[in-house]
Amino acid sequence: MQTVIFDFDGTLADTLPLVFYAFQRVFKEYEQRNVTPEDIIKMFGPSEVEIIQNNISDHEKIEDAIHSFYQYYMDHHRHLVKHSQEILDLLHYLKAKDMNLAIVTGKARKSLDISLQTLKMDSFFDVVITADDLNYPKPHPEGILKVLETLKADKNHTLFIGDSLADIEAGKRAGVYTIAVQWLSTPQTREFAIQPHQLFYHINEFIEFIDRLGY
């Protein structure tokens, strides 16, 4: 295996509780609207900026709402997102095998950078594709195909790993081996209408899978 591409939220970091919190505060403050995590998941696809642009009715308040979202996201990251040594160990393990690592996420670059820096993951990835870089969010395969093109990677030696149905569809549409994971506390999808090639519940299961491949 030469290249491993990861989703971010729910795959590399248990950031969904933070995302839910920031959106809930913004919708309460700017729309006087209470939203549940399920409501927010239904909005996923576009970046957080686009979600706010699409759902704040007073257009004059959109920029303030976006600013508030990022302020909440940054201020509450350390106590709402649990640091995972297991994830860091996994990334070290893959880099030690000289694999190219990439991220394809529906997050905007600003929130991703906050998370990568806070969680000390910012030095691992050869390519990072965010919503800011894409015309089409997952389940469209554009982001995965951009990684393959940038790295000149062989799709037959590439894995894509995610926790949502959109991830699984995107990976399979891109023609790469697609793995679903539920190894963090808050995955987006519990049951997959489109079946991944593999489903792992624990990080050590994935490491054993890589070892069995002989890399």
Q: Report the CATH number at residue 198.
A: 3.40.50.1000
Q: Please identify, among 79, 98, 128, the residue that sits at the C-terminal boundary of a domain.
A: 79
Co-location of 134 and 189 in the same domain: yes
Rg (CA), the chain: 17
Identify whether residues 129 and 178 lie together within a single domain.
Answer: yes
- How far is the C-alpha of 43 from the C-alpha of 41, rounded, in Å? 5
Shared-domain flag, residues 70 and 55: yes
Average pLDDT score over the chain: 95
Query: How many domains does the chain contain in total?
Result: 2
Residues 40 and 51 in one domain: yes
Alpha carbon dihedral 197, 200, 206, 210, in 10-degree steps, equals -20
At 215, the pLDDT band (50, 70, 90 cuts) reads low
* 110 and 63 both lie in a single domain: no
Active-site residue, selected from the candidate residues 7, 9, 14, 163: 7
Domain boundary among 63, 79, 95: 79
* Distant-in-sequence contacts of 205-209, Cβ < 8 A, 24+ apart: 206/90, 206/161, 206/179, 206/181, 207/90, 207/93
Please check whether residues 42 and 119 belong to one and the same domain.
no
Could you tell me if 88 and 69 lie in one domain?
no
In the block, tokens 């926790």 appear at 163
Please state the rounded mean pLDDT for residues 20-30.
98
> DSSP code of 141?
S
CA–CA gap between residue 183 and residue 25 (Å, rounded): 27
Q: Average pLDDT of 154-159?
A: 97
96 and 140 together in one domain: yes
Q: From CA 129, how far away is CA 99, in angstroms rounded?
A: 17
Q: Collect all residues with Cβ–Cβ distance below 8 Å to 167 and sequence separation of at least 6.
A: 7, 11, 138, 139, 160, 161, 178, 180
Residues 10 and 20 in one domain: no
61-118 pLDDT per residue, tens = 999 999 999 999 999 999 999 989 999 999 999 999 999 999 999 999 999 999 999 9
Range(s) of the domain holding residue 70: 16-79
65 in the same domain as 106 = no
Residue 56 sits in the same domain as residue 89:
no
Sheet holding 127-129, edge to edge: 127-129, 100-104, 3-6, 158-162, 177-181, 198-200
Looking at the structure, do residues 52 and 150 belong to the same domain, yes or no? Answer: no
State the pLDDT at residue 45.
85
Answer whether the bond into residue 139 is a cis peptide, omega within 30°: yes
User: Cβ(184)–Cβ(163) under 8 Å?
Assistant: yes
pLDDT at residue 214 above 90? Answer: no
From 25, 47, 79, give the residue that closes a domain.
79
Task: Establish whether 163 is a catalytic residue.
Answer: no
d(CA 21, CA 16): 8
